[in-house]
Structure 1
Amino acid sequence: MKTGGRTASFTLRDVVDAGTRIGLTDLTVQGVADALGVTTAAIYRHVPSRSALERLVGEAILDELHLTDDPDEPTVAHLVRFAGQLRSFTLGRPGTARYLQRLFPRGPSGLRLLEQEITALGRRGYDPATATVIASVIATIALGVTVAEQERVSADDPRVIDELMPLKAGSPLLRQAMAGIPDHTPEDYFVFMLTAAATGLVAQLPPGGPIPVSVT
């Protein structure tokens, strides 16, 4: 966007669009400036800091997430669906899960998603306070598992796996354990874990019941 020694005009929308294309994992003010062909000083005339840039880009990405809810679905199944939607969305957008982990909601898109889930749980008899606790717990678990899954994939070095195989083979107890675990995908494991967590959570926090002091 530099022509004839002068910086061509660009808008905040251009900054956000460039940041979205870069993605949250690799997002920097310099990267956005390079993508637009301008100086970092020009970027800072639109956004005051890298943190503000991250929030703008993060909220723009979250604006693409639209949660679905079947009102006839039981609470546990609904929570697993909610968690699965978070996983699917953030897996395809590296850095988004960590963005959600750090502080949520940080803007209008995040607020919309939280309100949608509170409303969905309200249809199942939950008051807003209890719904917020349940949604927060499920989201925390789902995002933590997703981040771990992403980091495991990025660090999937065959050399490391080759080094671990003899270690596992040298443990009769571990060989016995591994032989008894059915083949499963990361998604299978995710659904199993979130189903167990949601089942326990719903048992602890039934509709109309008090919120235990230990979770506040």
Structure 2
Amino acid sequence: MRTLSASTVAAVTGTARRQWGSLRQGQIVDAAVRLARTEGVAALTIRRLADEVGASRMALYRHVPSKDALLDLVANAVAERLAVPDVSVDSPWQDRLRQLAHAMRRELRALPDLAQLIMARGNHSPGGLHLAEAILATLTTADLDDAATARFYLVYVDLVLGRAHRELRGDPTSPSRNEALLAGAEHRPDAPRLRALAPRLRSADPDEVFETELDMFVAAVEHAAQTCESSSDNI
């Protein structure tokens, strides 16, 4: 019985295989991020990714021992990209925090299953560390003391990750979520403010809600920075 060559098999099956040793981990991660964006994290199986990069599953296992390891690499790649600011480091810290928050929300909304994963497991990869450092470095330039810097770092992460997670899993600020409440207020004399504001609440924009949350966060940091400065002046 005649044995088909690798090139013949590739021609018949429509899949070209890489030469042994030509696959790099960076290529696997790039393909995994593309797949996660277009088909969701659930599509990130070793078999599916092997087909995507044109390699055998055994070749992938040399670089990625498990799906959990693959998901960690994807989270790392996303965080590394976010840790490099799109605005100048000389820009006001308020602008840098806003830009980073919008970028984080955008990435997490594009990768909904990854947002759920990070909420459940955290991101302790090098990229996660670099992203945390970028947030802390920006907060430090606001002239906060250490206690306030740590506190506002946690609030910032909670705000951004929480907002993205809620938008993907059930946002309490969405018009559809509040429709039953608003409908119930239409004929009740004890809900005049809900009736008056119903058109505004029904047209609520999640981007505006997020922007308002950021406004409140920045204002709180500014106030805390002034308090820290006053305290240091009195020492």
TM-score, with length taken from structure 2:
0.65
In structure 1, stretches of 5+ residues that fail to align are 211-216
Counterpart mapping for 1:66-145 below 5 A: 66-67=84-85, 68=87, 73=92, 79-127=97-145, 130-145=148-163
| 1:214 corresponding residue in structure 2 | none
Letter in 1 for 2:208: D
Kindly indicate which of the two structures has a greater share of residues assigned to helix: 2
State the 1:184 CA deviation.
Answer: 4.0
State the 1:52 CA deviation.
Answer: 0.9
| C-alpha contact (below 8 Å) 2:116/2:165 kept by paired residues | yes
The DSSP-based 3-state class of the residue aligned with 2:157 is: helix
| C-alpha contact (below 8 Å) 1:71/1:123 kept by paired residues | no
Determine if the alignment matches structure 1 residue 3 to structure 2 residue 22: no
Larger radius of gyration: 2
| C-alpha contact (below 8 Å) 1:86/1:142 kept by paired residues | yes
Counterpart mapping for 1:16-95 below 5 A: 16-23=29-36, 25-26=41-42, 27-65=44-82, 66-67=84-85, 68=87, 73=92, 79-95=97-113
Select 1:150's aligned residue among 164, 168, 176.
168
Alpha-carbon distance change, 167 to 191 in structure 1, aligned in 2, over 3 angstroms: closer
Alpha-carbon distance in structure 2 between the residues aligned to 1:129 and 1:99: 28
| C-alpha contact (below 8 Å) 1:18/1:36 kept by paired residues | yes
Choose 66-75 or 23-32, whichever is displaced more.
Answer: 66-75
Counterpart mapping for 1:139-178 below 5 A: 139-151=157-169, 168-172=182-186, 173=191, 174-178=194-198
| C-alpha contact (below 8 Å) 2:76/2:128 kept by paired residues | yes
State the 1:150 CA deviation.
Answer: 3.2
Larger RCO, structures 1/2 (Cα 8 Å, 6+ apart): 1
State the 1:54 CA deviation.
Answer: 0.8
The count of aligned residue pairs is 201
Letter in 2 for 1:171: A
Alpha-carbon distance in structure 1 between the residues aligned to 2:230 and 2:48: 50
Alpha-carbon distance change, 134 to 209 in structure 1, aligned in 2, over 3 angstroms: farther
| C-alpha contact (below 8 Å) 2:115/2:165 kept by paired residues | yes
| 1:213 corresponding residue in structure 2 | none
| C-alpha contact (below 8 Å) 1:118/1:128 kept by paired residues | no
Determine if the alignment matches structure 1 residue 189 to structure 2 residue 209: yes
Alpha-carbon distance in structure 2 between the residues aligned to 1:58 and 1:35: 19
In structure 2, stretches of 5+ residues that fail to align are 11-16
- The sequence identity of aligned pairs, in percent, is 23
| C-alpha contact (below 8 Å) 1:25/1:95 kept by paired residues | yes
The one-character-per-residue Cα deviations of 1:47-76 (angstroms, maximum 9, x if unpaired) are: 12211111112212233223336656365x
The one-character-per-residue Cα deviations of 1:27-58 (angstroms, maximum 9, x if unpaired) are: 22232123134443432222122111111122
State the 1:93 CA deviation.
Answer: 4.1
| C-alpha contact (below 8 Å) 1:87/1:146 kept by paired residues | yes
Alpha-carbon distance in structure 2 between the residues aligned to 1:78 and 1:64: 15
